[in-house]
């Protein structure tokens, strides 16, 4: 497993660094003071609102000036990345499991992850990666072959999903699959198949519900129900699919992005897989699991995860679950998720006790959408504008990562690579704090970063987009001819089997 050795800072360099920081802070304060003074004293007849606007602008500028200490520490200190990578090939790709049964509430945001994110708590890091791998599974198991008669479905049945993806190590079992559709133009991301309607042209596999087994439940201190949501598959779909309009959610002032809500709530009687909505499917299964385990006297939590669009659906899911199960501990751990709703939506989630942790990458554009202009930063001008119910607001605490912190990642603009979930997991694994370099004992296999993109430095010689079925799924028949194999009966999607299967 490749690792960047922790950089050591000599006393001399450390002194220069501190002096540089002090000088830059002084210069910044002078600039801001001069800006405020010039703006305020330009005319005594200016209104107080104009003065407050000037101060707000200066404060906003101050927020966006990069910390000099971080900028200096993010420089590469060791360019021999090949040696670092080779040194880890004979070590396990994941930190060992530890008992967190007495700490699980804190790890899942009871105090909004205060003092756990910067520096990042090692126990929390491992749990974030676990849920991130659950989110990644929704991509790895999707049949996205446009020539497949099952395009848009899961490649495997729910009993084999974690086994096929190497996730049995986490100690969870999948209990139900989730299917979604859309009534709007956003449905294009659901209709990639070139084949006739042999499976479903209306619905896509959108994720799953899983629950911790007995061993894992003892380790983490409760029975954990997990819902994992998939994001859109093509990066270009963000520009076509994301609508900007906010739509009321329920009877209060909360509003959410129309396209996200449409995917979560859409259903159609004529379809096989979405006679009920994704919302209905999930809530029905969560309700069943809660009843089953609470009757056994167990403590239960709900953890919802997702990447990109999946992170948006996770928040909608959490909102609905908090209404239906008001005493249930609910947390959301999302990766590269966009904004979902307005400030009232954010406040309702907070008041209902939902704990949300957003993992973002500074260079990723998706967390800035929608509402690139009309977002929570306008609160800085609320003296002039008043409370704006029609602008987008992020929800919860943020763990902000930086591509430049890893010596294994390429620099420059790479929309797909910067947004990819494996890039997120790589950076979480190496993150120590906002003032530290990539940790020397990171465990995760760096080759995974290039599964679907080209983010690793060329020195590592890991092919881009290497993750695919052998021979793109073709096999030889008994005559030696290359053919597309038929799925095993147990892996053919069937809503009847989903509904009647034994738990």
Q: Which of 460, 402, 452 is nearest to 430 (CA)?
A: 402
Contact 359, 399 (CB under 8 A): yes
d(C-alpha 283, C-alpha 325), whole Å: 10
Give the C-alpha distances (Å, rounded to integers) separating 282 from 178, 183, 253, 389, 453. 7, 19, 25, 29, 31
Coil, helix or strand at residue 398:
strand
Q: What token pair was written down for 439?
A: 């940790």
Set 170, 307, 419, 420: catalytic member: 419
DSSP 500: H
Set 56, 212, 308, 322: catalytic member: 308
Q: Which of 494, 401, 502, 406 is nearest to 448 (CA)?
A: 406
Q: Which of 185, 203, 209 is nearest to 272 (CA)?
A: 203
In angstroms, how far is CA 227 from the centroid of its own chain? 13
Contact 351, 21 (CB under 8 A): no
In the residue annotation, 44 being an active-site residue is answered as: no
In the residue annotation, 402 being an active-site residue is answered as: no
Which strand (E) or helix (H) includes residue 224? strand 223-229
Give 97's strand partners: none
Residues 6+ apart with CB under 8 A from 272: 200, 203, 495
Give the C-alpha distances (Å, rounded to integers) separating 96 from 103, 127, 164, 410. 17, 11, 21, 29
DSSP result, 85-145: HHTTTTS-SSPPP---TTTHHHHTTTTTTTTTBTTBPHHHHHHHHHHHHHHHHHHHTB---
Contact 397, 113 (CB under 8 A): yes
Give 356's strand partners: 332
Say which residue the tokens 């360019």 belong to: 79
Cα of first residue to Cα of last residue in the chain, in angstroms, is 38
Set 202, 364, 429, 445: catalytic member: 364
Give 360's strand partners: 400
d(C-alpha 97, C-alpha 221), whole Å: 13
In the residue annotation, 308 being an active-site residue is answered as: yes
Give the C-alpha distances (Å, rounded to integers) separating 41 from 34, 61, 290, 359, 421. 10, 20, 63, 42, 50
Phi then psi for residue 482, to 5 deg, are: -80, 125
DSSP 406: -
Contact 216, 224 (CB under 8 A): yes
Phi then psi for residue 372, to 5 deg, are: -60, -35
Active-site residue set: 308, 364, 419
């Amino acid at each position: 497993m490749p690792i960047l050795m922790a950089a050591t800072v000599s006393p001399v360099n450390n002194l220069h660094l501190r002096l540089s920081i002090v000088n830059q802070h002084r210069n910044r304060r002078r600039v801001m003071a001069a800006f405020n003074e010039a703006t305020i004293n330009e005319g005594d007849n200016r209104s107080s609102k104009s003065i407050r606007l000037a101060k707000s602008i200066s404060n906003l500028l101050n927020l966006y000036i990069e910390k000099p200490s971080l900028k200096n520490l993010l420089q590469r200190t060791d360019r021999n990345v090949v040696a670092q990578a080779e040194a880890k090939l004979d070590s396990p790709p994941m930190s060992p499991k530890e008992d967190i049964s007495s700490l699980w509430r804190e790890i899942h945001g009871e105090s909004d992850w205060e003092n756990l994110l910067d520096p990042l708590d090692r126990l929390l890091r491992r749990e974030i990666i676990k849920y991130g791998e659950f989110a990644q599974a929704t991509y790895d198991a999707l049949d996205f072959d446009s020539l497949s008669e099952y395009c848009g479905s899961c490649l495997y049945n729910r009993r084999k999903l974690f086994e096929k993806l190497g996730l049995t190590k986490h100690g969870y079992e999948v209990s139900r699959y989730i299917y979604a559709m859309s009534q709007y133009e956003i449905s294009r991301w659901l209709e990639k198949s070139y084949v006739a309607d042999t499976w479903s042209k209306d619905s896509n596999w959108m994720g799953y519900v899983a629950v911790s087994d007995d061993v894992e439940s003892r380790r983490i201190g409760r029975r954990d129900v997990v819902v994992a949501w998939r994001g859109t598959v093509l990066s270009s779909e963000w520009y076509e699919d994301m609508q900007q309009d906010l739509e009321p959610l329920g009877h209060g002032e909360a509003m959410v992005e129309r396209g996200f809500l449409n995917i979560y709530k859409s259903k159609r009687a004529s379809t096989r897989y979405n006679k009920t909505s994704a919302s209905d499917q999930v809530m029905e299964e969560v309700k069943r699991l809660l009843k089953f385990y609470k009757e056994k006297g167990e403590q239960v939590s709900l953890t919802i995860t997702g990447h990109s669009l999946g992170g948006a659906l996770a928040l909608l899911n959490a909102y609905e679950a908090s209404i239906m199960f008001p005493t249930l501990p609910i947390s959301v751990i999302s990766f590269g998720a966009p904004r979902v709703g307005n400030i009232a939506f954010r406040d309702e989630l907070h008041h209902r006790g939902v704990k949300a942790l957003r993992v973002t990458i500074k260079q990723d554009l998706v967390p800035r959408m929608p509402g690139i202009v009309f977002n929570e930063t306008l609160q800085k001008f609320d003296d002039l504008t008043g409370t704006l119910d029609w602008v987008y607001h992020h929800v919860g605490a943020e763990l902000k990562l930086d591509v430049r912190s890893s010596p294994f990642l390429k620099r420059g603009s790479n929309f797909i690579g910067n947004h990819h979930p494996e890039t997120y997991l790589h950076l979480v694994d190496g993150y120590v704090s906002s003032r530290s370099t990539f940790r020397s004992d990171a465990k995760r296999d760096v080759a995974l970063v290039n599964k679907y993109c080209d983010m690793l430095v060329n020195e590592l010689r890991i092919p881009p987009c290497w993750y695919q079925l052998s021979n793109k799924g073709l096999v030889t028949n008994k005559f030696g001819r290359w053919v597309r194999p038929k799925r095993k009966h147990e892996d053919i999607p069937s809503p009847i089997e989903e509904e009647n299967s034994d738990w």
